[in-house]
A and B are shown apart, each in its own frame.
Chain A
């Protein structure tokens, strides 16, 4: 893709110059501090360029000056709406480097929390996405239900958003008294709520008109751009790391990978809705099968992984979240590189928005489900 040429705008209708509009970084619909430079012909998007970095905190650089344990809380601050998944990815990557494995009980609790977090992340996405398209009510419904998940997190580890739930080698906290009951209660509470969301949106004429055929990206294009997660699956590519490269103990569970056909915004919406239901299925199986046993593997107090490098990726709510860690044998990583799903998915924005209208840019930003903390790191 060539960079936008802002110096020599073409002539358009009525010989008016092309309109170059700066959307963001202070814009209600860019989900944070994303700045999008739009080149418009009237309301039609001729091209756009994302300007990122407004939330850059140098997380990867910080890692080089922290020990492996000390860096763990930092990853929660990347995708702050799916902090548990970030922690899982990091812990598993370091575990891989150390060649240890978390005990089964820890694995189960990890899966439960991660899947709960996936639901919470999707709920936040649904609320804000619908709000961008103009439906204000789903936002409040999803936030009401997300609260129940956050309560479980709070009871488990004391934090609601940046949980720091996992430790390298397992868990710090044993599941609290009544954890299983709370999770089961949540599942029975939540099942009808998804129907409630779908009732408001799935067959709503205006919702269909706003999302069908908007922001289409084909499967090959999505693969070429490195797009992952629900966005890729909605384009018909059945690629979910939980199935493709099972990590944690996902191979023990029976669940399906939803895919779409057309790769438009509506399919992405449907895929995520089904994913929430599938997450419920996984949690149900996991809660039923939590084994007894230790929650922490034997991990040295001072971690000195052997010299080498490791890449480990998990299926975060937004796509493939990978950690590439290079160890020089000391207590601190030599280099950590994070492959954040939002950052890579954001690349697709230009392809998805060309030829669409300004209002669709909003819808597409919403449907990509980006979190700027993760994009900018």
Chain B
């Protein structure tokens, strides 16, 4: 027993990822953990999307299944699993059967290299970011084959639209990513890296997140990626493949039950995957905010307390809403359930205050918090924007994002090659410009 604890301890304190250490057992454990975490995240995301969207639209969203509809995603999952799995008579059965699995596999496999912390990744590949982009682009195959195998007009159009969209936005996405890879090469050996962990460590050693690097170049790159990733995951306002008012449900019109839920699962985990790329590349991955401004051991402690505080606050929110529940006997079970849920959350919060736990989860916490911010943005976009038309979507991709990406890439390359240009010319010019702007504003 003691040996077992020591064994676990040795891996918790290891400074390498299980894949890097070549340990199959721990790699498997990590894979299962990531898979479980991802499934929970998708379920939570399902509930959150409905609730947040509902509150944006002056309605309540799910309220019936469980307190505040907390069990709604589970009820939906059960419903979908129990539904009849229909394969249309004219469909190509094998391809129809395989297509959802391709999409799910592509969406889940990318998490092999996502760095939740310096050691909290399944493995650290030398080609991390290339692998992520490549594997996530494989989901196009699943979508195309799903649309084709359905043997019906609307899914086929939806699939062609979807794949055209994903292929074209991948280009802009790639350019933005390459500009970051150039930024990683600003060290003594001037060797960049494609490794996801390496990219975050480059931000750590350079002392700034790449979104602020060569301001505003990093920000532009981030912007390009942030637009392209929404298009890449087929979400509003680029949700043409699923444009309900035009194509009913796009490429998965003919799918039902379990197979349909696989597409759903893949869509959400793809959203999380591209958000993790954005977080890793521009927002410093697992690094906490304000490392330069709020430094020192006191601030370290304050920021390390964040995970616990977050969960405690969630628990308090649950308790507050327990108090607000109707006092009718019919609501008793729900009230108790909500209180219990709050107690669990608060307990998790308390556990996260223990120093041994704290130091090991704080990386994961910051990473997840940044990804969660992106998830909120996705929902927000959906509540705000109308949908682009297909030709406009292509125009945005090819005529705006792509040229922007090319210019950005060249500018970043020049600055990365000749750092003295940046320090000697651009920074003073920028300061001069800001000074003039400042004096203009103050004179008004």
- Listed in ascending order, the chain A residues whose CB lies under 8 Å from chain B are 19, 21, 27-29, 43, 130-137, 139-141, 144, 200-201, 204, 206-207, 209-210, 357-360, 362
* B56 partner residues in chain A, CB cutoff 8 A: 137
Closest to A23 in B: B246
Asked whether, in the complex, the Cβ of B390 is within 8 Å of the Cβ of A43, the reply is yes
B382 in the interface, Cβ–Cβ < 8 Å?
yes
B245 in the interface, Cβ–Cβ < 8 Å?
yes
Closest to B54 in A: A140
Tell which of B240, B384, B389 has the most Cβ of chain A within 10 Å: B389
> How far apart sit A359 and B157, CA to CA, in the bound complex (Å)?
12
Given known contacts A134-B245, A140-B59, A359-B243, A210 and B383 CB-to-CB distance under 8 angstroms: no
Question: Would you give 19 A-B contacts (Cβ < 8 Å), ordered by A?
Answer: A29-B246, A43-B390, A131-B245, A133-B387, A134-B237, A134-B387, A137-B56, A137-B57, A140-B58, A141-B57, A200-B384, A201-B386, A206-B387, A206-B388, A207-B386, A209-B392, A357-B389, A359-B243, A359-B390
> How far apart sit A141 and B56, CA to CA, in the bound complex (Å)?
10
Separation in Å of the B160 CB from the closest CB of chain A?
10
Asked whether, in the complex, the Cβ of B384 is within 8 Å of the Cβ of A209, the reply is no
B170 in the interface, Cβ–Cβ < 8 Å?
no
From residue 193 to 237 of chain B, which have CB atoms closer than 8 A to chain A? 236-237
* A134 partner residues in chain B, CB cutoff 8 A: 236-237, 239, 243, 245, 385-388
Given known contacts A136-B383, A137-B384, A206-B237, A359 and B57 CB-to-CB distance under 8 angstroms: no
> How far apart sit A133 and B56, CA to CA, in the bound complex (Å)?
18
Separation in Å of the B25 CB from the closest CB of chain A?
47
Tell which of A27, A130, A137 has the most Cβ of chain B within 10 Å: A137
> How far apart sit A357 and B153, CA to CA, in the bound complex (Å)?
16
Separation in Å of the B156 CB from the closest CB of chain A?
10
From residue 89 to 103 of chain B, which have CB atoms closer than 8 A to chain A? none
B188 in the interface, Cβ–Cβ < 8 Å?
no
Asked whether, in the complex, the Cβ of B57 is within 8 Å of the Cβ of A136, the reply is yes
> How far apart sit A358 and B57, CA to CA, in the bound complex (Å)?
28
* B59 partner residues in chain A, CB cutoff 8 A: 140
Encode contact with A along B362-383: 1 for CB under 8 Å, 0 otherwise: 0000000000000000000011
Separation in Å of the B162 CB from the closest CB of chain A?
14
B23 in the interface, Cβ–Cβ < 8 Å?
no
Asked whether, in the complex, the Cβ of A209 is within 8 Å of the Cβ of B245, the reply is no
Asked whether, in the complex, the Cβ of A204 is within 8 Å of the Cβ of B385, the reply is yes
12 other contacts beyond A133-B386, A134-B236, with CB at 8 A cut-off?
A: A21-B153, A27-B248, A29-B245, A130-B386, A133-B387, A134-B388, A135-B384, A135-B386, A206-B385, A210-B388, A357-B390, A360-B389
From residue 376 to 427 of chain B, which have CB atoms closer than 8 A to chain A? 382-392
> How far apart sit A144 and B60, CA to CA, in the bound complex (Å)?
13
Contact among B57, B244, B390 with A28 in the assembled complex (CB-CB below 8 Å): B244
* B383 partner residues in chain A, CB cutoff 8 A: 136-137
* B382 partner residues in chain A, CB cutoff 8 A: 136
> How far apart sit A90 and B386, CA to CA, in the bound complex (Å)?
39
> How far apart sit A19 and B239, CA to CA, in the bound complex (Å)?
23
Closest to B244 in A: A28
> How far apart sit A85 and B327, CA to CA, in the bound complex (Å)?
46
Closest to B247 in A: A358
* A133 partner residues in chain B, CB cutoff 8 A: 245, 386-387
> How far apart sit A336 and B404, CA to CA, in the bound complex (Å)?
63
> How far apart sit A136 and B391, CA to CA, in the bound complex (Å)?
21
* B246 partner residues in chain A, CB cutoff 8 A: 29, 358-359, 362
> How far apart sit A43 and B384, CA to CA, in the bound complex (Å)?
26
Separation in Å of the B401 CB from the closest CB of chain A?
14
> How far apart sit A312 and B348, CA to CA, in the bound complex (Å)?
73
4 A-B pairs with the lowest CB-CB distances in the bound complex, closest first: A134-B387, A29-B245, A140-B57, A135-B386
> How far apart sit A358 and B383, CA to CA, in the bound complex (Å)?
23
> How far apart sit A133 and B237, CA to CA, in the bound complex (Å)?
10
* A130 partner residues in chain B, CB cutoff 8 A: 386
From residue 126 to 155 of chain B, which have CB atoms closer than 8 A to chain A? 153
Given known contacts A206-B386, A357-B389, A132 and B245 CB-to-CB distance under 8 angstroms: yes
> How far apart sit A43 and B382, CA to CA, in the bound complex (Å)?
24
Asked whether, in the complex, the Cβ of A19 is within 8 Å of the Cβ of B153, the reply is yes
Separation in Å of the A256 CB from the closest CB of chain B?
28
* A21 partner residues in chain B, CB cutoff 8 A: 153
> How far apart sit A135 and B56, CA to CA, in the bound complex (Å)?
12
> How far apart sit A21 and B236, CA to CA, in the bound complex (Å)?
25
Closest to A206 in B: B386
Asked whether, in the complex, the Cβ of A357 is within 8 Å of the Cβ of B391, the reply is yes
> How far apart sit A266 and B265, CA to CA, in the bound complex (Å)?
37
Closest to B388 in A: A206
Given known contacts A19-B153, A362-B246, A209 and B388 CB-to-CB distance under 8 angstroms: yes
> How far apart sit A300 and B382, CA to CA, in the bound complex (Å)?
58
From residue 34 to 86 of chain B, which have CB atoms closer than 8 A to chain A? 53, 56-59
* B236 partner residues in chain A, CB cutoff 8 A: 134
> How far apart sit A140 and B58, CA to CA, in the bound complex (Å)?
7
> How far apart sit A28 and B382, CA to CA, in the bound complex (Å)?
19
* A359 partner residues in chain B, CB cutoff 8 A: 240, 243, 246, 387, 389-390
Closest to A134 in B: B387
> How far apart sit A130 and B57, CA to CA, in the bound complex (Å)?
14
Closest to B382 in A: A136
> How far apart sit A200 and B385, CA to CA, in the bound complex (Å)?
8
* A209 partner residues in chain B, CB cutoff 8 A: 388-389, 392
> How far apart sit A204 and B153, CA to CA, in the bound complex (Å)?
32
* A358 partner residues in chain B, CB cutoff 8 A: 246
* A136 partner residues in chain B, CB cutoff 8 A: 53, 57, 382-383
> How far apart sit A362 and B390, CA to CA, in the bound complex (Å)?
13
